[in-house]
A and B are shown apart, each in its own frame.
Chain A
Amino acid sequence: MKVKVVLGREERVVEVAEGATVAEVLRALGVNREEVVVRLRDAIVTEEEALRDGDTIELIRVISGG
């Protein structure tokens, strides 16, 4: 199935196995879960949340460095 990932102004579509979780999408992208908060359909979710085909998730980077 396909999941759209939005990070700032960037957008990517990733192909993951049916029923994949947020954690699996992050792993596929090489993103560390410690460094992002994930929003799915207007709600913040845990990395264990299972996704559906066509879902869009937004990653919010938590690193400030300022």
Chain B
Amino acid sequence: MVSCSICGERACYHRRYSGQRFCAEHFLEYFERKVKKTMLRYRMVERGERIGVAVSGGKDSLTLLRILDRLAGRLSLELHAILIDEGIANYREETIERARRFCEELGVPLRVLSFREHFRLALDEAVRLSHRNACTFCGVFRRKLLNDAARELGCDRLATGHNLDDEVQAILMNFLRGDLERLLRLGTRTRSERLVPRIKPLMEMPEKEVALYALLAGIPASFEECPYAVQSFRTEVREMINRLEESNPGIKFSILRSYQKLLPLLESYGVKQLQSCRTCGEPSSGERCRACLLLEELTRSASR
């Protein structure tokens, strides 16, 4: 039997990059402490703030909600869960149900916004009208609705469940594509009053640890995959990183640290000022925002 480095009970996790082994109880303790430390280190929240929490019903967002809920009392945080229903048949219904149940259990108010109600079409319909990848619409429209909801609710921050793996994948993807603008945007503070500042409390937690936390803490998260999540550039990058991590434990952290060291250099190279979208007035890097451009494209295909 493999045993916990702290108490000698049976270990359920071997944290290879530090050599420690944890039993269930000590893993949960370690995980919560580490998330707390990350939040302090990056000064993610301040006492008394109102925090919007983006939830989907998956393991990352429900784990995030549970941990913020545990910190809420001591820091007098006011939490508001926000869920975006993109309109993905045979997938989203169940995850919404799980999120709803968990919010009820914790007593956190939940606001649900749907693509159908705000853009007049579900993601499934958008995909049928376009040659574009579902994730393109999904990402752009979801980001917009999350920001709208957080702003309407008067939130000081918007917390998302991005984990270490998500971060490192995004860093490498932007680097490999030579997209310096996006590479920079990943790590800099928002540059517009209309954008609610985002925080990512799980950004230093590997995806496997988040899943383990959700399982051990009995969080009713869904482990199903979105039907649109097919083989993509992101999958290739993920597989490459995980192969590297297997033979070089800790490399995900070192990619994140390298990025953080590079950030000041990237910033001095110039942060593009955001303008207001000519159509909707929301912050945009071009004359019109991505959401408006995509919507117009969809309206054109629909009338054809």
A interface residues with partner B (beta carbon < 8 Å):
32-37, 43-49, 60-66
Expressed in whole angstroms, the Cα–Cα distance for A47 and B11 within the complex equals 10
Interface residues of B in 1-48 (CB under 8 A from A): 1-2, 10-14, 21, 24
Closest 4 CB pairs of A and B: A66-B226, A62-B211, A65-B229, A46-B14
> Would you give the 0/1 interface string for B173-187, flagging 1 where the beta carbon is closer than 8 Å to chain A?
000000000000000
Contact B91 A66 (CB under 8 A): yes
* B269 at interface by CB-CB < 8 Å: no
* B239 at interface by CB-CB < 8 Å: yes
Contact A34 B245 (CB under 8 A): yes
Expressed in whole angstroms, the Cα–Cα distance for A37 and B216 within the complex equals 11
Q: Which residues of A contact B58 (CB under 8 A)?
A: 64, 66
Q: Which residues of A contact B225 (CB under 8 A)?
A: 61, 63-66
Could you pull out 10 A-B pairs where Cβ atoms are within 8 angstroms? A37-B208, A37-B215, A45-B10, A46-B14, A46-B21, A48-B14, A61-B223, A62-B59, A62-B211, A64-B59
Q: Which residues of A contact B11 (CB under 8 A)?
A: 45-46
Given the known inter-chain contacts A48-B2, A64-B58, A65-B225, please indicate yes or no for A34 contacting B206, CB distance below 8 A: yes
Contact B1 A34 (CB under 8 A): no
Given the known inter-chain contacts A32-B246, A49-B1, A66-B226, please indicate yes or no for A37 contacting B212, CB distance below 8 A: yes
B interface residues with partner A (beta carbon < 8 Å):
1-2, 10-14, 21, 24, 56, 58-60, 91, 95, 165, 206-208, 210-212, 215-216, 223-226, 229, 234-235, 238-239, 242-243, 245-246
Expressed in whole angstroms, the Cα–Cα distance for A47 and B245 within the complex equals 15
Q: Give, as a whole number of angstroms, the nearest-CB distance from B304 to chain A.
A: 30
Q: Give, as a whole number of angstroms, the nearest-CB distance from A21 to chain B.
A: 9
Contact B238 A63 (CB under 8 A): yes
Question: Which residue of B is nearest A45, CB measured?
Answer: B12
Contact A60 B211 (CB under 8 A): yes
Q: Which residues of B contact A66 (CB under 8 A)?
A: 56, 58, 91, 95, 224-226, 229
Contact B207 A33 (CB under 8 A): no
Q: Give, as a whole number of angstroms, the nearest-CB distance from B14 to chain A.
A: 4
Most buried by A among B1, B95, B235: B1
Q: Which residues of B contact A63 (CB under 8 A)?
A: 207, 225, 238
Contact B246 A33 (CB under 8 A): yes
Question: Which residue of A is nearest B241, CB measured?
Answer: A34
Contact A62 B12 (CB under 8 A): no
Expressed in whole angstroms, the Cα–Cα distance for A32 and B240 within the complex equals 11
Q: Which residues of A contact B208 (CB under 8 A)?
A: 34-37, 62
Q: Give, as a whole number of angstroms, the nearest-CB distance from B96 to chain A.
A: 12
Contact of B246 among A34, A37, A46, A64 (CB under 8 A): A34
Q: Give, as a whole number of angstroms, the nearest-CB distance from A3 to chain B.
A: 17
Contact A44 B223 (CB under 8 A): no
Expressed in whole angstroms, the Cα–Cα distance for A66 and B62 within the complex equals 13
Q: Give, as a whole number of angstroms, the nearest-CB distance from A16 to chain B.
A: 18
Q: Which residues of A contact B239 (CB under 8 A)?
A: 32
Contact B211 A32 (CB under 8 A): no
Q: Which residues of B contact A62 (CB under 8 A)?
A: 59, 207-208, 210-212, 223
Expressed in whole angstroms, the Cα–Cα distance for A32 and B208 within the complex equals 11
